[in-house]
Amino acid sequence: METLRLSGVHKSYGVGTPVELEVLHGIDLVLERGEFTALVGPSGSGKTTLLNLIGLLDRPNAGRLFIEGQETGGLGEEDITRLRGRSIGFVFQYHYLLPAFTALENVMMPILAARGRPDDEMRATAATLLDRVGLTPWRDSKATEISGGQQQRVAIARALAMNPALVLADEPSGNLDTASADGVFDVLREINETSRTTFLIVTHDPRLAQRCDRIVELVDGRIVSDRPNAHVLRSSSG
């Protein structure tokens, strides 16, 4: 079952101006449910732009984009927001937790935005997710009171709060030391294997890319390689 389908997606900036710049040149990509895919490529190759398009934070200039079989091209602003909230989770390079809220409240936030008011069920869901990323003891700590690796784990739990079909991670371990980065990757992998959540992970780190099932390489806005990883490293210890 397809979680994501991109068909001939183009993205340009400064359209109609002398400095028009095409960043993505006809991207075709399909992610099946439960795939754990790395998106690699040099800086400026269009990885983040592609992630923003897939995450419905931006719109393509041409081409079609389907999330769980639903074409997104004709959707209005409110429908896009609803679909993004329901089907897509984000993990950014920097955690972007809301500093005014505790770890538990940060995880609850996407559900609260969708439902409008807090309830016991969303509290329980958030607590379970924090437990899953090993942060139960820090559930009532403010985002500023925990370490970088812990903050990124809270961000992962938050990305999973709405039980999304697809999680987009933009260099999720880029700001972390090796041990913390491995820990974060272990969590992502564990969730993928137990929940069959589809992951698309942008990384510069070949070591971490080797831990993914599939590696897609983007160069100058084009997919130059899309191959299954024959030698997947299942954990940081090898």
Partner 1 sequence: MKRFAFFELIVAFRFMREGLMQTLLIILGVGLGGGVIVFMSALLSGLQANVVRRTLNYQAPIRILPPDQVARPLRAVEGAEIAAQVQPRSQRLRSIDQWQKIRDQIERTPDVVAVTPVVAGPGFALRGDASKSVTITGIEPESYFRVIALDEKIVAGRHDIGPLDIVIGTELAKDLGANVGDKFRLATAVGANATLTVIGLFDFGNKGANERNVYVALRSAQNLLDLVGGASAIEVKVRDPFAAETIAQTIRGGTDLQVESWIVTNAQFFTAMRAQILTNTLIRLFVGLTVALGIASVLVVSVIQKQKEIGILRAMGASRGQVLRVFLIQGGAVALAGSVLGSALAWTFLLAWRELARNPDGTLMFIVEIEPSLFAIAMVTATLVGILAAATPARRAARLDPVVAIRS
Q: How far is the CB of 160 from partner 1 (least distance, A)?
A: 11
Pick 88 or 209: Cβ nearer partner 1: 88
What sign for the dihedral angle of Cα 24, 27, 30, 35? negative
Closest CA to 53 of 5, 107, 114, 1: 5
Give the containing element (helix H, strand E) for 107. Answer: helix 103-115
Minimum CB distance to partner 1, residue 57 (Å): 5
* 160, amino acid identity: L
How many binding residues for partner 1 (CB under 8 A)?
Answer: 30
Give the closest residue to 103 by CA, choosing from 59, 146, 71: 146
List binders of partner 1 among 78-137 (CB under 8 A).
78, 81-82, 84-86, 90, 92, 96, 98-101, 109-110, 112-118
158 binds partner 1 (CB under 8 A): yes
Residue span 42-81 as binding mask against partner 1, x where in contact by CB under 8 A, dash where not? ----------x--x-xx------------------xx--x
Q: 3-state SS of the chain: helix, strand, coil percent to 5? A: 35, 30, 35
Q: Which two tokens stand for residue 21?
A: 């710049």
Residue among 6 and 209 whose Cβ is closer to partner 1: 6
CA end-to-end span of the chain: 30
CB of 85 to partner 1, least distance (A): 2
The minimum distance between CB 1 and partner 1, in angstroms, equals 23
Residues numbered 162-201 forming contacts with partner 1, rule: CB under 8 A = 162
Nearer to partner 1, 61 or 236 (CB): 61
Q: How far is the CB of 122 from partner 1 (least distance, A)?
A: 11
Q: Closer to partner 1 by CB, 17 or 77: give it.
A: 77
**How many Cα atoms sit within 13 Å of 6 on the Cβ side?**
24
Q: Enumerate residues 6+ apart whose C-beta is below 8 A from 54.
A: 4, 6, 65, 88, 166, 168, 200
- Integer Cα distance of 212 and 225 in angstroms: 15
β-partners of residue 157 are none
Of 1, 2, 36, the C-alpha closest to 214 is 36
Least distance (Å) between residue 83 CB and partner 1: 9
Q: Is the CB of 108 or the CB of 215 nearer to partner 1?
A: 108
Tell me the closest approach of the beta carbon of residue 110 to partner 1, in angstroms: 4
Residues at the contact surface with partner 1, assessed by CB under 8 A: 52, 55, 57-58, 77-78, 81-82, 84-86, 90, 92, 96, 98-101, 109-110, 112-118, 158, 161-162
